[in-house]
Amino acid sequence: MEFINIIINQKTNYHIVHSKESTECERYACSELQKYLYQSLNYPVPIFSDKCQKRGPEILIGNARNNNYMKLLEGKTKEAFLIKEVDENIIITGNSPRAILYGVYKFLEEFIGFRCFTKDCETYEKLEELKIKKHYELIQDFSFEYREVYFRDAFDGDFASKNMLNSNMAFLADKHGNKVKWFNFHHSFSDLLNPNEYFDTHPEYFSLVDGKRQKEHTELCLSNEDVYKIALEKVRKWIIDNPECDVFSVAQDEWMGHFIKMACECDECKKIDEENNSQSGSIITFVNKIAEVIKKEFPNKLIHTFAYQYSRKTPTKVIPNDNVIVRLCNIECSWSRSIEESKEKDPHSESAKFYEDLLNWSKITKRLYIWDYAVNFRNYLLPFPNLRTIDKNIKLYKKLKVQGVLMQGNFSHGGGGYLDELKSYVTARLLRDDSEELDVLIKEFCDNYYGKNISNQVIAYINLWEDHVKNFDMWLYDDADHPMFDEVMIDKSLILLKDAYQNADLDKKMRVEKLLLGIEYLRLVRLELDYPNKEEKIEQFRTKLLEHKITEIFERTALDYSIDVMKNSRYAKDRPNWYSLYYIMK
Ligand SMILES: [Zn+2]
């Protein structure tokens, strides 16, 4: 096998070269390449623009020296990239500036063992030599066009970029090549036509429910021609006013659609829904009508809508247009098993019903995206062992040609869900390439983040819960009195984690202590209310949380309130005046 030498014993003839027309992102790609090559090989490869004369072999970034190798990526996505050796030059190019930067990180992964596990934990090898096989070529595209790890830990722009996430929520800037930017990321019918503005003069624009037009907790009368015209005008204005956005939401609102009727039952809306055997019928018909006009006027923009709660069932007649993203949400599922495993175990389970919908949408939708979940929102710190579920579900989504995935974990400013850091990393890697092996990802993460000396104990702790949870159903709003939580599991967890803590390197002890907080929380809220010194223990727990900068342990709830709940209510179940849109669904 013939190799070419790039850097040998701190010597090189190579230069990193960008085009004189390069973007901010391509120049950043050059500096990232130089930075990590220096850290690994202790040599600062010079960076030039291609307006300078060639002085030796080159690492060409993007279309430097008009290399035109992008042509090999024709027909692939906007983010596909290429690494190739040609006549001793190395080409790193891609279908967009972001793709070129991804190509540089991939090059570093392949040749210096670069990995970014969290924003403050990276690794690379210290090398004497960097050699590349002659005629080396790597072309990579992504398993999913849209990759959103909706965890606070994954919002860091550098982490997202290094892990090739194009998330709307991440702080991705020009230097990162930006992202898939959404305008109104969520529900939007009331933004299109606000009932406060229109209802009094035009009640017919809003949902007719049980014979009465609704102003509160309403949706739109989607068959009304004026509603269509006003909504279309609004979407047009959004697109013109926000040219940097890629996706515009035309989506049902969220008013506890599991409990109250919201969709319009007027004769015309009802007719469409009946023809489609689903309330998604009138939604997709309406969204298509808008998307058709938008496609002609703004061919690169996408329209998003939800298949969520009452609209989750696939319509039997209407088919979403090519420029319509349907985002299917699996909030009703159990997370202790994958969707397919749950279906096999119980063909009447919520997960089995979801599987049916997923399968049916995947047959008719070009751009099917999934909104999935990965933490206990009612008790962020409680063990929520769903790593195997994440892995299997992502592989299922890929099999069914899903194009985008959002995985929602703990997104709060308050930090600290169960294994947030690991789940962010694993999800990001699987969304890049769903064929990655879960155990390999977990092992490399734990070796680096917790340390090789204790990674076996941490992995044993992770597997303890992953094995245990298979015997139960696990939902997003379970309490600490769920039967999966018992004293035996607490004891086993403490033995593993305390041992890991004892043996952890000094700079990694805090990371293990953070794992211990979950078990500590579980132990504390399970104590009888009159347990001796319970309040004092909870106060000590608060101090520890703050040392870890954790200020939110229930979704959207101040820490002081949560600490009071822990003191006053066994299992932290009784939450006076606490309100969540979702948790009473069960
Ligand atoms: Zn109607």
Could you tell me the distance, in angstroms and rounded to a whole number, from the CA of residue 271 to the centre of ligand 1? 9
In the three-class reduction of DSSP (H, G, I as helix; E, B as strand; rest coil), residue 368 is classed as strand
The torsion angles phi and psi of 93, rounded to 5 degrees, stand at: -135, 170
- Residue of higher predicted confidence among 308 and 399: 399
Could you tell me the distance, in angstroms and rounded to a whole number, from the CA of residue 207 to the centre of ligand 1? 6
Tell whether the model's pLDDT for residue 260 goes beyond 80: no
Could you tell me the distance, in angstroms and rounded to a whole number, from the CA of residue 368 to the centre of ligand 1? 26
Could you tell me the distance, in angstroms and rounded to a whole number, from the CA of residue 289 to the centre of ligand 1? 15
Could you tell me the distance, in angstroms and rounded to a whole number, from the CA of residue 324 to the centre of ligand 1? 22
Could you tell me the distance, in angstroms and rounded to a whole number, from the CA of residue 223 to the centre of ligand 1? 5
400-430, pLDDT tens digit by residue? 999 999 999 999 998 888 999 999 999 999 9
Could you tell me the distance, in angstroms and rounded to a whole number, from the CA of residue 192 to the centre of ligand 1? 16
Could you tell me the distance, in angstroms and rounded to a whole number, from the CA of residue 356 to the centre of ligand 1? 27
Query: What is residue 585's predicted lDDT score, i.e. its pLDDT?
Result: 45
HSE at residue 260, side-chain half, CA atoms within 13 A, is 15
Could you tell me the distance, in angstroms and rounded to a whole number, from the CA of residue 250 to the centre of ligand 1? 16
Could you tell me the distance, in angstroms and rounded to a whole number, from the CA of residue 294 to the centre of ligand 1? 23
Could you tell me the distance, in angstroms and rounded to a whole number, from the CA of residue 187 to the centre of ligand 1? 19
Give the end of a domain, one of 305, 321, 337: 321
Could you tell me the distance, in angstroms and rounded to a whole number, from the CA of residue 326 to the centre of ligand 1? 21
- CATH number for the domain harbouring residue 12: 3.30.379.10
Q: Rounded CA gap, 271 and 274, in Å?
A: 5
Q: Evaluate whether residue 572 is within a structural domain.
A: yes
Average of per-residue pLDDT across 23-27: 98
Query: What is residue 305's predicted lDDT score, i.e. its pLDDT?
Result: 97
Could you tell me the distance, in angstroms and rounded to a whole number, from the CA of residue 264 to the centre of ligand 1? 5
**523 is written with which tokens?**
């132990």
Average of per-residue pLDDT across 191-205: 96
Same domain, 25 and 117: yes
Report yes or no: 337 and 351 within 8 Å, Cβ to Cβ: yes
The torsion angles phi and psi of 490, rounded to 5 degrees, stand at: -65, -45
Same domain, 124 and 22: yes
Could you tell me the distance, in angstroms and rounded to a whole number, from the CA of residue 316 to the centre of ligand 1? 19
Tell whether the model's pLDDT for residue 581 goes beyond 80: no
Query: What is residue 353's predicted lDDT score, i.e. its pLDDT?
Result: 96
Structure confidence at residue 468 as a pLDDT band (50, 70, 90): very high
Structural domain boundaries, residue 77: 3-141
Structure confidence at residue 1 as a pLDDT band (50, 70, 90): confident
Could you tell me the distance, in angstroms and rounded to a whole number, from the CA of residue 323 to the centre of ligand 1? 24
For the chain, the average pLDDT equals 95
Tell whether the model's pLDDT for residue 586 goes beyond 60: no
Tell whether the model's pLDDT for residue 362 goes beyond 60: yes
Query: How far is the first Cα of the chain from the last one, in angstroms, to the nearest whole number?
Result: 62
Q: Evaluate whether residue 344 is within a structural domain.
A: no
Could you tell me the distance, in angstroms and rounded to a whole number, from the CA of residue 270 to the centre of ligand 1? 7
Q: Rounded CA gap, 413 and 115, in Å?
A: 25
Query: What is residue 255's predicted lDDT score, i.e. its pLDDT?
Result: 66
Could you tell me the distance, in angstroms and rounded to a whole number, from the CA of residue 272 to the centre of ligand 1? 10
Tell whether the model's pLDDT for residue 38 goes beyond 70: yes
Give the end of a domain, one of 321, 348, 382: 321
The torsion angles phi and psi of 344, rounded to 5 degrees, stand at: -65, -40
Same domain, 127 and 211: no
Could you tell me the distance, in angstroms and rounded to a whole number, from the CA of residue 275 to the centre of ligand 1? 14
Could you tell me the distance, in angstroms and rounded to a whole number, from the CA of residue 298 to the centre of ligand 1? 28
Average of per-residue pLDDT across 21-27: 97
Could you tell me the distance, in angstroms and rounded to a whole number, from the CA of residue 314 to the centre of ligand 1? 19
Q: Helix H segments across 193-309?
A: 195-198, 225-241, 267-276, 280-297
Same domain, 133 and 194: no
Q: Evaluate whether residue 147 is within a structural domain.
A: no
Structure confidence at residue 259 as a pLDDT band (50, 70, 90): low
Could you tell me the distance, in angstroms and rounded to a whole number, from the CA of residue 238 to the centre of ligand 1? 25
Same domain, 7 and 115: yes
Could you tell me the distance, in angstroms and rounded to a whole number, from the CA of residue 366 to the centre of ligand 1? 27
Could you tell me the distance, in angstroms and rounded to a whole number, from the CA of residue 253 to the centre of ligand 1? 15
Q: Rounded CA gap, 320 and 141, in Å?
A: 25
Give the end of a domain, one of 141, 170, 205: 141
Average of per-residue pLDDT across 508-513: 97
Q: Rounded CA gap, 403 and 11, in Å?
A: 44
Could you tell me the distance, in angstroms and rounded to a whole number, from the CA of residue 225 to the centre of ligand 1? 10
Could you tell me the distance, in angstroms and rounded to a whole number, from the CA of residue 358 to the centre of ligand 1? 26
Burial of 210 (0-12, 13-18, 19+ CB in 10 A): exposed
Average of per-residue pLDDT across 509-529: 97
When mean pLDDT is compared across 173-187, 254-268, 286-300, 417-431, the lowest value belongs to: 254-268
Could you tell me the distance, in angstroms and rounded to a whole number, from the CA of residue 204 to the centre of ligand 1? 8
DSSP state, residue 309: G
Average of per-residue pLDDT across 310-332: 95
Average of per-residue pLDDT across 185-194: 91
Which residues neighbour ligand 1 (ion) by CB within 5 Å? 221, 223, 264, 266, 269
Could you tell me the distance, in angstroms and rounded to a whole number, from the CA of residue 278 to the centre of ligand 1? 14
Could you tell me the distance, in angstroms and rounded to a whole number, from the CA of residue 186 to the centre of ligand 1? 22
Q: Facing residues of 16 across strands? A: 47, 59
Could you tell me the distance, in angstroms and rounded to a whole number, from the CA of residue 285 to the centre of ligand 1? 12
Structure confidence at residue 186 as a pLDDT band (50, 70, 90): confident
Could you tell me the distance, in angstroms and rounded to a whole number, from the CA of residue 261 to the centre of ligand 1? 13
H/E stretch holding 102: helix 97-112
Average of per-residue pLDDT across 196-225: 94
Same domain, 194 and 133: no
Q: Evaluate whether residue 126 is within a structural domain.
A: yes
H/E stretch holding 8: strand 3-8
58-102, pLDDT tens digit by residue? 999 999 999 999 999 999 999 999 999 999 999 999 999 999 999
Q: Is 445 left (phi over 0), alpha (psi -120 to 50) or beta?
A: alpha
Q: Evaluate whether residue 514 is within a structural domain.
A: yes
Q: Evaluate whether residue 162 is within a structural domain.
A: no
Query: What is residue 309's predicted lDDT score, i.e. its pLDDT?
Result: 87
Same domain, 21 and 122: yes
Q: Evaluate whether residue 529 is within a structural domain.
A: yes
Tell whether the model's pLDDT for residue 20 goes beyond 60: yes
Domain count, the chain: 3
Same domain, 9 and 131: yes
Could you tell me the distance, in angstroms and rounded to a whole number, from the CA of residue 221 to the centre of ligand 1? 4
Q: Which amino acid is at 430?
A: L
Could you tell me the distance, in angstroms and rounded to a whole number, from the CA of residue 108 to the centre of ligand 1? 56
Query: What is residue 304's predicted lDDT score, i.e. its pLDDT?
Result: 97
The torsion angles phi and psi of 81, rounded to 5 degrees, stand at: -140, 170
Could you tell me the distance, in angstroms and rounded to a whole number, from the CA of residue 286 to the centre of ligand 1? 11
Could you tell me the distance, in angstroms and rounded to a whole number, from the CA of residue 359 to the centre of ligand 1? 28
Q: Evaluate whether residue 191 is within a structural domain.
A: yes
Could you tell me the distance, in angstroms and rounded to a whole number, from the CA of residue 354 to the centre of ligand 1? 27
